[in-house]
Structure 1
Amino acid sequence: MAGGDGHGRSSPEDDADHYAVLGLPSGEEGSKLSLKEIEKAYRNQSRIRHPDKRPNDPNATADFQLLTSSFEVLRDEMSRCCFDAKLRARRERVLRDSLQDAKRRKMSTDLDERERSAAAAVDPAEEGRRKEKMKADELKREIAEFKARRAKKASEPNGKEKAAEEKVGPGLDKGRMLKVTWETSAGDYSAAKLRGIFARFGIVEDVVIRSKNSKKKASAIIVMASKDAVVRAIQSMSGDTTNPLLVLPLEPMAPSFSSTSSTNHNESMGPEFNNVVGAGFQNYEAFVMKKLKEAIDKKKNIR
């Protein structure tokens, strides 16, 4: 039997069913045919398929060559036995593949059936409750995250205020700091100008102009060398009706001073200022506005 074309490729004879080429039954039935039956089939096919009988068929020669080759395989006892074994192996492989495909199809069908049965077994009411619980849990989680963000935001100081405090240095005593606010229409107050204004109340350690977040107002942080200087600055500037600056302590002052000397010093500044300190500067801005209004009314009465 032919073994190929010499380049590793199989020839038509290698894949051909030689029994079928001769028009004979194949498989187990073909293996039981006698040599005379095979020779008779070959002669009949030769008369029909000879190239001389098919002058207009371009495949006539190749077909006749295949017919002759198949006959040579089947007429030789050894080559016919090898071919029969080859056919059996081919049939067994086809059967095995078919069984495997059938098994896979059955497994797939069984799986689909189990999934349908499981879906049918689920109580619609129970499924609805499960979905509602999932939604409720998701909502609770979102609410908890929202509350956590709000609590964190509430615990953090104002971003710009914190940035200004960080510029003047961490760990400084806030009791020595002043927050100064003014209307931009009143003029442009630079760090050097503010330093000059507050230097008359004591040593000015630092001045930080805050980023302007409004076209109408501006502010700054003034760091004095002592708390006494802070008190003097507030006392002096709150009493000046012509002063365009609103001066407030960065940190509310204690209602009273622990030592006698501090108390006496506080009292020496006058009852009006003492009242403000006693209130802890909680309403200091309102106090300043009230004093400004009183001063304006007094001027009007004089005129």
Structure 2
Amino acid sequence: MAPSPTGADEIDHYKVLGLPSGEEGSRLNADQIEKAYKTQSRQRHPDKRPDDPNATADFQLLRASYDILRDEQSRRVFDAKLRARREKEVRDSARDGKRRKLAEDLEKRERAADRGEPLDAAEMERKREKNVANELKRELDAFLNRNVRGSQPAAASASTSREEKHDKSEGKSDKDKILKVSWERTLGDYSATRLREIFEKFGKVEDVVIRSKNSKNKKSALVVMSSKDAVVAATRLMCGDVSNPLLVLPLQTSSDNVPFAEANDEPKVNKIVGAGFSDYEASILKKLQQRGAKT
């Protein structure tokens, strides 16, 4: 493939040989290109133009263009470049046309505004539609904001109320099913398994928790029954048995429980859950000891 002269990227080699360019030039065959070259070389040879100082350079360009177009590979490359150049020109022309149109419209509106003339009907309609759309958007945003602000307090209040009712109900229900049990160490020791066996005759035992910290003479535990009825039955029967060494009291007192259970003695507990809940502190033991002293 023959080398192209400096600046060849801006040269249309078809035009150098006097041939049509573009898609029409790309369809020419080798014979047509050779014929065009021979014709141009006879006319533009330096010997034919002794007084033209550019004759030699012009003839060299002619030869270079012919060498490019007669080589199949170099011609394909040139055709691709030429096609890309034309497409760019079309794009630039279209973009320039849009820019000119915008500039003309702007100048037209400015002149009309300077003269105090009304805008044309199409422009006025576009402006009106834009104003209507903006107004609708503002109204929609305001409506949504009002709804959000209005619904948040109510929703929060309702949610809080439901949670409070649930916690109170659940806590009360849990405490109704718990027994406080204490005993003297000198009368024997009771494991969780032994306490479960004793109280299962009154109903299902869900959990037994032995206090890890006890006094020197007494130990205590919490027994969680499956129902309030089981708590009432266990309290009445165990307290009525004089041979029973265990002091049994309900954690949650009510009119259904034993007469000596005072409501103001119950510890403040929100709810009891599972086998792993924490032991109660010294306040429970103290109250149990007081119960034992009275008994």
| TM-score tier (shorter) | 0.3 to 0.5
**Greater relative CO (CA pairs within 8 A, separation 6+):** 2
Q: TM-score, normalised by structure 1?
A: 0.36
Q: TM-score, normalised by structure 2?
A: 0.37
